[in-house]
Structure 1
């Protein structure tokens, strides 16, 4: 018999735990948050522990009589061996002093069983040629990650009373589901960047959308000190880093790109390097042709495991992804956008996706874009929670009174109103600030 087919369990430790629970009314509290029902290797032991766990969660005693009654009421008492089985567990146990030690032994065997099961699943996935290889890697990595982090599935059916309890708890804590952007008028419109939302920021080239992505990245990383991952499918790691450095030093970004620094700027450079280096910003400049939703999930999974809860994800920009020679680009981009929404929900993080506007707006008298102007839009509009369109009048009209002003058009807002606000924007260093009349 192969090792993988042998029973991986520790019946003596399991029975010592169950006996301890029957003997000591406080014993269940030690193991309730450590051992799931599935950690027990036999159906009978699982049923006894399940009875004790449910009684404990309902603030009831876990002695011989109450557990026996629970098992009888649920028509499983005789299946586990009757009251004789419960009495044997009780008489074999001297005390519950070492119950935490026994729990560790049982948990070890349980995790080994899980590992064997995952191994078999991965073998089956590898042999199933009907599944694309990238999906095989994604599913295999997810299963191993869940196992090594002891991560339970977040998305489970829940009765409404549990949902209400979660909502009430967050209301009482006063915790906000959104992160402020630092721009007062924009926050007044959108309420900040909401966790699990897909936020699409679209504009024509040179309008400032990459700078806006950098601004949000820097602000969230600075203000809440949670990791922000910037996927740059357009700019290289060096180019993007120099943009952040320009924001922190006030040195013109065009000169930084060419490594041209004035002597009097070196103190600012040193200070900017120090400040920027402390921020939890992670840059991923995987080429657009290789950047897939699977790779994005994998990167986020690693960062979350190493650094904890994520603050923000930014992708610059979505139309760069995939095979641009493919026939139906709108459908392909829509698929990527839907995947980004799923990722936002899975990782409980706002996901900012930058997008380009069609050049058709250049021929309009009013060059302010609309949702319909997003290039290869497909399903982008239906998947997004928030749609922000950027416009600078000075780009088209040199005599405009709105010099240095960017309009942020809130064209779609699932959780609020649609309107337009103005912010002050300096494209030489990527600085955004509140507009004051």
Structure 2
């Protein structure tokens, strides 16, 4: 490519540097948004890097301090000497416009990134030693990284940076968790914490899918955040009818069979309006073809189109992978580890539903333990929180716990464990607190 045709705006770059040298407060407006390599010219990169280093040390970024820093690091000659800095300082620009200059520089930077990514994708396309699925994943990742316009949040940094953020959050009483919508459960598990892998384990018909729907519905409507529900178990129509049942208070079994009474039409209409505006996204890719590449691709697209994710739900983990594999535990373990990675990558809680082994049916006390999770493998090791569900009514018709579900916080990496009871209407999937 001809050098002159490479996207760049060196005038805007000079204006940014001039603003920084002339106004001590200018750099604070752009330090977190403008990476060093956004500058096209190497000299400009080095001058900006010097200013950033001084800024992060709470020092002035005037011509004298920047010149001294560059000289100490044997870089002053590389940038054009003191004459270059004097030229920038004499460039009478208004620091009030630094945001506009930054937008111009970032626009050209993104174009250069796009060109670079395109060249890499072409190379990947020709490299037949890499699986096609991996090629597609790597190609997509390169494009989405450009759209995010962020530095790598997982890059190493001093603990002082984390401490500063924590102090700020404490001062503002910022909570790192989203409410579950259930008071007693929130008290036990501390809510749905970002980057946590939360596993809900239960036997069939205990209510684990309903609890996953409850979390998804609560986060989507209470926080107006996108929720992605991967349903390897049921199709999107059946899952949608579950959400509809929750809102319209119509028996889900009848809804699935399209049986609605005339007296229910008004509530059904209201429920349709509410859900139509909710940021719940359902992916019912069959388990036989669902994989981590497809999941990550779907999550990237939702994040790109709708913004930061509120919650990810997978129903359910044992449906995934090669079900004929000789070592199912190892296969499932790979997924649970990857789910934890996705929670960190997308900065939101990941709720994975899991089946409990049939063996609990032969026990006197049919309440499951963590060891009862089917093909457990590394699931228990990877999870941050493990919830086990039990309904006594399912086994004992004479129980005093009618319409009650026990939620056992059996594992809690960063908190306490314990059991709470909540009201559960299995017909419409409604969870509510027990009012004492």
Settle same-fold status: TM greater than 0.5.
Answer: yes
Q: Which residue of 2 aligns with 1:400?
A: 399
For the pair 1:372 / 2:371, whether they are aligned, the reply is yes
For the pair 1:309 / 2:305, whether they are aligned, the reply is no
CA RMSD of aligned residues (A): 2.5
Q: Which residue of 1 aligns with 2:66?
A: 67
Q: Which residue of 1 aligns with 2:113?
A: 114
Alignment map for 1:317-328 (pairs within 5 Å): 317-328=316-327
Secondary structure class of the residue paired with 2:269: helix
Distance 1:433 1:181 in 2: 11
Cα distance change of structure 1 residues 61 and 395 upon mapping to structure 2, 3 Å threshold: closer
Deviation at 1:272, TM superposition (A): 1.9
8 Å Cα contact 1:202-1:389 kept in structure 2: yes
Greater Cα offset, 200-209 or 17-26: 17-26
Distance 2:270 2:104 in 1: 53
Distance 1:101 1:253 in 2: 54
Distance 2:145 2:72 in 1: 35
8 Å Cα contact 1:340-1:351 kept in structure 2: yes
Cα distance change of structure 1 residues 105 and 210 upon mapping to structure 2, 3 Å threshold: closer
Q: Which residue of 2 aligns with 1:126?
A: 125
For the pair 1:172 / 2:171, whether they are aligned, the reply is yes
Secondary structure class of the residue paired with 1:406: strand
Cα distance change of structure 1 residues 282 and 367 upon mapping to structure 2, 3 Å threshold: same
8 Å Cα contact 2:197-2:351 kept in structure 1: yes
Task: Map Cα deviations across residues 322-351 of structure 1 (whole Å, 9 max, x no partner).
Answer: 221222111111101111111111111111
Cα distance change of structure 1 residues 37 and 358 upon mapping to structure 2, 3 Å threshold: same
* Matched positions, count: 435
Deviation at 1:163, TM superposition (A): 0.9
Cα distance change of structure 1 residues 260 and 105 upon mapping to structure 2, 3 Å threshold: closer
8 Å Cα contact 1:21-1:96 kept in structure 2: no
Q: Which residue of 1 aligns with 2:350?
A: 351
Deviation at 1:32, TM superposition (A): 4.8
Cα distance change of structure 1 residues 30 and 151 upon mapping to structure 2, 3 Å threshold: closer
Structure 1 portions without partners, runs of 5+: none
Greater Cα offset, 80-89 or 255-264: 80-89
Secondary structure class of the residue paired with 2:139: helix
Task: Map Cα deviations across residues 221-280 of structure 1 (whole Å, 9 max, x no partner).
Answer: 222221111111111111111111111111111111111111222122112222222322
Q: Which residue of 1 aligns with 2:236?
A: 237
Deviation at 1:435, TM superposition (A): 2.8
Deviation at 1:57, TM superposition (A): 4.6
Cα distance change of structure 1 residues 345 and 64 upon mapping to structure 2, 3 Å threshold: closer
8 Å Cα contact 1:24-1:95 kept in structure 2: no
Distance 1:222 1:103 in 2: 36
Alignment map for 1:32-431 (pairs within 5 Å): 32=31, 35-89=34-88, 93=91, 95=93, 103-431=102-430
Cα distance change of structure 1 residues 67 and 232 upon mapping to structure 2, 3 Å threshold: same
Distance 1:23 1:169 in 2: 29
| TM-score of the two chains, using structure 1 as the length reference | 0.91
8 Å Cα contact 2:39-2:45 kept in structure 1: yes
Deviation at 1:128, TM superposition (A): 3.6
Greater Cα offset, 153-162 or 118-127: 118-127
| TM-score of the two chains, using structure 2 as the length reference | 0.91
